[in-house]
Amino acid sequence: FFDSLTEQKPDPLLELIAKFAADPRPGKIDLGVGVYRDETGRTPVMKAVKAAEHHLWETQQSKSYIGPEGDPVFLRTLASEVFGERRGGKPVAGIQTPGGTGALRLAAELLALDKRRKIWIGTPTWVNHQAIFASVGLQIATYRFFDIEKQTVLVDEMLTTLRNAAPGDAVLLQTSCHNPTGAALSQQNWRDIADIIAAKGLIPLFDNAYQGLGRGRVEDAAGMIDVIETVAEAMVAVSCSKSFSLYRERTGAAYLFGDRQASLNKAIGNLASYARTSYSMPPAHGAAIVAATLEDPSLHRTWVDELSEMRTRIVEIRLAAAEAFGQFRPELANIGSQEGMFSLLPISPENVRQLRSEHGIYMPDSGRINVAGMRVRDIASVAERIGPYLT
């Protein structure tokens, strides 16, 4: 049986990591990896996380099961942090999940219950999105989101496409720090999106994986909250992987917003039953860290400061990169007003490969770069090397 199976292609990003590791050149640079890096190239454990882990080690009395919905303290504290006090007093219910991916997968399972439903996904997007929704048999429709050559969001095209969606269809939206483009929507854009979603009876599913790494913790969620306040029902997949640097701890949550608490609880019960038949219950450690951090005012302050430091570094890199890359292509000055870790360069896959072999600069074929993969002092020379390969 095993031998009869189809060979699966390895994840291109993991392949890239292996190639990078095997490259002996000292000046090599990895812009492919999807994690935050500090100026020394490391992805450190946050101080607040270390302190919370220490506290847990001292106080945790049991590792008995907690149940498919996860830790209620984690869900409550994370909801306050992510959504704040606004959201029009709308009822909310949540379930802890293994990372943001786990939340997206549970949401996908629920949406796929109606076989007529499509999910509308902007392109380009995170490589795993289409695969997650396709794996539950959900119909996928796309709208163009970003013009790589012009480095601008195609808002009008997006709005026109969404006006043609059928009532009951879902729309996938990235809350902030768009992966892979870094493109940001204005508050007016979000209001227009909210109005269309409300008027057409669509269901927004927010992928919230980078809150705090764009303009700020509160600012990054403002558009999402506008939409939640305007529409009848909304779903949100939250990832703590980047904002708490908890990647491998698999920490996240799915939240549902609606008009009636009873309906939300029923929907969460459905999500919990999918969890029960796949991984049973979510891993506890990362969520316990997040809960301990958010509950304790001093740990919370430490975490906020560390997150701000990460954001400040990203902004600093972006401003320098905008100047350096803008000399080769004026449109790339937009890197400075884009947000989060990623930007998408106008470069062909052949040139990406050539850049890799000739200069040891690594990025996926799409041309997505993680700006946090650069040290500030290297930006000008990285841009000099990439510039001639741009289309």
Catalytic residues: 126, 207, 242
- The least distance separating ligand PMP from the CB of residue 126, rounded to whole angstroms, comes to 4
With CB under 6 A, what is the number of residues at the site for ligand PMP?
Answer: 13
Among 77, 101, 161, 176, the residue binding ligand PMP under the rule CB under 6 A is 101
Judge contact between 231 and 223, C-beta under 8 A.
Answer: no
CA 259 to chain centre: 26
Binder among 175, 176, 241, 243 for ligand PMP (CB under 6 A): 241
Nearest approach, Cβ of residue 102 and ligand PMP (Å): 7
d(Cα 327, Cα 308) in Å, to the nearest integer?
29
| Among residues 124, 214, 252, 340, the one that binds ligand PMP under rule CB under 6 A | 252
Site string for ligand PMP, 33-72 (x = CB under 6 A): -x--------------------------------------
C-alpha distances out from residue 50 to 56, 57, 142, 147, 244, Å? 10, 11, 41, 41, 11
Would you count residue 212 as binding ligand PMP (CB under 6 A)? Answer: no
The residue written with tokens 């000046």 in the block is 27
Region of 61-69, 88-96, 98-106, 197-205 interacting with ligand PMP (CB under 6 A): 98-106
Distance between CA atoms of residues 71 and 252, nearest Å: 11
**Does residue 126 touch ligand PMP according to CB under 6 A?**
yes
Q: How far is CA 389 from CA 348, 353, 361, in A?
A: 8, 10, 11
DSSP string, 69-88: T--HHHHHHHHHHHH-S-ST
How crowded is residue 145: how many other Cβ atoms within 10 Å of its Cβ?
22
Nearer to ligand PMP, 96 or 101 (CB): 101
**C-beta of 172: minimal distance to ligand PMP in Å?**
10
**Least gap, CB of 340 to ligand PMP (angstroms):** 9
* Smallest gap from residue 98 Cβ to ligand PMP (A): 7
Between CA 30 and CA 216 the distance in angstroms is: 26
CA gap 109, 268 in Å, rounded: 12
Query: Binding pattern to ligand PMP, positions 161-200, x when CB under 6 A?
Result: -------------x----x---------------------
Which residue's Cβ has the minimum distance to ligand PMP?
Answer: 99
b/e 202-223 (16+ beta carbons within 10 angstroms → b): bbbbbbbbbbbbbbebeebbbb
* 340 contacts ligand PMP (rule: CB under 6 A): no
